[in-house]
Structure 1
Amino acid sequence: MDFLWRAIDETEPGPKWAALFHEYWPDYHRWWLREGEEPRPPYWESKRALKDHMPELVPLYERLCELAGGGDHAARFLSFWRPPPYLSGCSQAIWPGREPVLVRNYDYSPRAFDRLMLRTGWLGRTVLGTSDGLWGLVDGMNDAGLAVSLTFGGRRIVGEGFGVPLILRYVLQTCETAEEAGRVLARVPTHMSYNVTVLDAKRRFLTALMAPDRPAQITHAAVATNHQKTVEWMSHARMTATVQRERFLLQRLTLHVEPQEKFISAFLRPPLYSTAYSLGFGTLYTAVYRPRLGQMELRWPQASWAFDINDFVEDARAIYTPDHGYRVI
């Protein structure tokens, strides 16, 4: 099927964001209530969690709640505090050349995804990234030359914490270096296990192995797939081929040096490129971040779309995504 992707630019939260929220809210509301209302935390707890862990975002959160209409459910959803559990695939790696790049595949359901590139100037900082939950991000970069990306960490445990897309937003709003980002990722609680890879303008990088039930581990790993130091969920690991993808990337980075373009192109082919759309783990896009240059690119097997954080152009494009046998899992 052809799915519509949009690139939206709005310096301060306003009518464009409000229109997006009201367009997406019915689907997000159903997802947020899929376990019933009782498991979702109340508004007072959600806002307190933001004040405790990401206080810089509170004024922005309040403005977004206002634009969303001020409803209780919308405010609780937008806090990202203890959301319903969700799983994804994904591969990401740092190509460490003269001009290092962060490359990632996002593997998820084609029908449960914003398909939005957002450039914002919120809180005085320009951020460009791939939207999730309408203000969270699954990958992105800021005007300080910091880029971040996430993969699911391959563990079943769900705990007290935030949905990680909001944590990525917080990193890009408040940090300029990999070291600063590592400190944030080590202290902000996440509700599930995720691997977050960071690359900054001085070519420094790290990967944080985050979990709700143990301290985050800050590593110098240049590769992350869908497990942490060991495989803990065997059936998920087999289904997503996380070990095979990790080994494939490590071999390409350590056994021989290859040109940047060849390394990026590998993400558009198996074993990195997934066709498991019927299971909700098909590759929806490949993202290439060049944070020192303020540039990023989305790629698909038959299309590409380039963006510049300093010269962003709003647009919309229909991108073909295989959808055969799709089902909700």
Structure 2
Amino acid sequence: MALWRAISEDEPGQKWAALFHEYWPNYRAWWLREGETARPTYVESRRALQTHMPEIVPLWEEICELAGGGDQAARFLSFHTPPPYLADCSQAIWPGREPVMVRNYDYDSRAFDSLILRTKWQGRGVIGVSDGLFGVVDGVNDAGLAVSLTFGGRRVVGTGFGVPIILRYVLQTCETAEEAGEALARIPTHMSYNVTVLDRKRRYLTAMMAPDRPAIVTHAAVATNHQEHVEWVSHARFTATVERERFLLQRLTLHRDPEEKFIGAFLKPPLYSTAFAHGFGTLYTAVYRPRKREMEVRWPGTTWVQRIDRFEEGVRYVDVPGATPAQV
């Protein structure tokens, strides 16, 4: 059984601080796994935030104080050039009368927050699946903008931000897909990622971000784990990224599945992954409805609905098919 929590706190406070102190030992070990000198200094991290995401610097300073004011915690929370990490994931926009964003998050359950966080930081309402307690891997804001990420399937690692803080920045500062696309095109990322956004006016885009070349902003409705073409062949074969992309495109173009059938496909092969032993099992499926400011987190047989204006704190114990107890 996997334990999930839903926590709400308008401004950074004691709830967030308690979560940080609970998670920090494991995050610190991960952040230091290549040695402290492999990570940017405090000054470098602060300068990068001020240059590329100045609007959230006061928020970063506030949560750093709640985290205890330590040098390592502040550098970690900047998400500036963290250790490399891989996730799989599939995501798509179902283009109905009320479009929805659907995604699977495939990752290592031992390195996952299992946390839905509702905040109103800097006056902006956001709900999303937490990563590192400051970033998110998907979410929606009170302006009706939803975002989600997938790994881009490339080995290149550079200087830039971990993508979860980039998604947090987009949700904190953007209201439309166009604004999000502009932000995603200019903020440097340390690895290659595909970020899909959908706004309340039915507009969507996918930005293919990379550390070594300009971002490519497209009107793609589907993203898996490669960009314009496969560059990391062994990873593509192992994760079946091309097969998953083709499957989703067929569902959207040839079959025109109704909404519920389309969402249900994410909870079955080939989209649903049981590769938990390799750190790529499907931990959850998320469904975002931007006009309603609503998210659903789904597992086979279980759905947890949350809305920004009717958020309910609580816990859920969920079965994760294919995972062993040690993996959840």
CA distance in structure 1 between the aligned counterparts of 2:155 and 2:50, rounded to whole angstroms: 27
Find the counterpart in structure 1 of residue 49 from structure 2: 50
Tell me if structure 2 keeps the 8 A contact 1:298–1:306.
Answer: yes
Tell me if structure 2 keeps the 8 A contact 1:127–1:172.
Answer: yes
Find the counterpart in structure 1 of residue 235 from structure 2: 236
Find the counterpart in structure 1 of residue 218 from structure 2: 219
Alignment of 1:6-45 (within 5 A): 6-45=5-44
**Counterpart code for 2:162:** G
Q: Secondary structure at the match of 1:38?
A: helix
**Counterpart code for 1:128:** I
Find the counterpart in structure 2 of residue 197 from structure 1: 196
CA distance in structure 2 between the aligned counterparts of 1:100 and 1:174, rounded to whole angstroms: 22
Find the counterpart in structure 2 of residue 80 from structure 1: 79
CA distance in structure 2 between the aligned counterparts of 1:227 and 1:17, rounded to whole angstroms: 34
Find the counterpart in structure 2 of residue 273 from structure 1: 272
Alignment of 1:178-197 (within 5 A): 178-197=177-196
Tell me if structure 2 keeps the 8 A contact 1:280–1:326.
Answer: no
- Write the deviation string for residues 274-321 of structure 1: whole angstroms up to 9, x where unpaired: 000000000000000001011110100121101111110100111122
* 1:326 Cα deviation from its structure 2 partner: 6.7
Tell me if structure 2 keeps the 8 A contact 1:6–1:316.
Answer: yes
Worse-matched range after superposition: 55-64 or 300-309: 300-309
CA distance in structure 2 between the aligned counterparts of 1:19 and 1:280, rounded to whole angstroms: 27
| TM-score where L is the length of structure 2 | 0.98
Alignment of 1:59-78 (within 5 A): 59-78=58-77
**Counterpart code for 1:137:** V
Q: Secondary structure at the match of 2:104?
A: strand
Tell me if structure 1 keeps the 8 A contact 2:196–2:205.
Answer: yes
- 2:37 counterpart of 1:4: no
Please give the root-mean-square deviation of Cα atoms over the aligned residues, in Å: 1.0
**Counterpart code for 2:16:** W
Tell me if structure 1 keeps the 8 A contact 2:4–2:317.
Answer: yes
Find the counterpart in structure 1 of residue 314 from structure 2: 315
Tell me if structure 2 keeps the 8 A contact 1:176–1:200.
Answer: yes
Find the counterpart in structure 1 of residue 324 from structure 2: 324
Tell me if structure 2 keeps the 8 A contact 1:277–1:326.
Answer: no
**Counterpart code for 1:310:** D
- Write the deviation string for residues 70-102 of structure 1: whole angstroms up to 9, x where unpaired: 011000000000000000110000000001000
- 2:175 counterpart of 1:157: no
Against the structure 1 CA distance between its residues 325 and 36, is the aligned structure 2 distance closer, same or farther, given a 3 Å change threshold?
farther
- Write the deviation string for residues 111-169 of structure 1: whole angstroms up to 9, x where unpaired: 11000000000011000000001010000000000000000000000001000000000
CA distance in structure 1 between the aligned counterparts of 2:177 and 2:270, rounded to whole angstroms: 29
CA distance in structure 1 between the aligned counterparts of 2:223 and 2:153, rounded to whole angstroms: 11
- Write the deviation string for residues 164-183 of structure 1: whole angstroms up to 9, x where unpaired: 00000000000000000000
| TM-score where L is the length of structure 1 | 0.98
Pairs aligned (count): 326
**Counterpart code for 1:214:** R
Tell me if structure 1 keeps the 8 A contact 2:12–2:121.
Answer: yes
CA distance in structure 2 between the aligned counterparts of 1:253 and 1:155, rounded to whole angstroms: 26
Q: Secondary structure at the match of 2:183?
A: helix
Tell me if structure 1 keeps the 8 A contact 2:274–2:323.
Answer: no
Against the structure 1 CA distance between its residues 46 and 323, is the aligned structure 2 distance closer, same or farther, given a 3 Å change threshold?
same
CA distance in structure 2 between the aligned counterparts of 1:235 and 1:25, rounded to whole angstroms: 33
Alignment of 1:128-143 (within 5 A): 128-143=127-142
* 1:3 Cα deviation from its structure 2 partner: 1.7
* 1:325 Cα deviation from its structure 2 partner: 9.4
CA distance in structure 2 between the aligned counterparts of 1:295 and 1:219, rounded to whole angstroms: 25
Tell me if structure 2 keeps the 8 A contact 1:278–1:325.
Answer: no
CA distance in structure 2 between the aligned counterparts of 1:255 and 1:71, rounded to whole angstroms: 54
Q: Secondary structure at the match of 1:232?
A: coil
CA distance in structure 2 between the aligned counterparts of 1:24 and 1:320, rounded to whole angstroms: 22
Worse-matched range after superposition: 249-258 or 160-169: 249-258
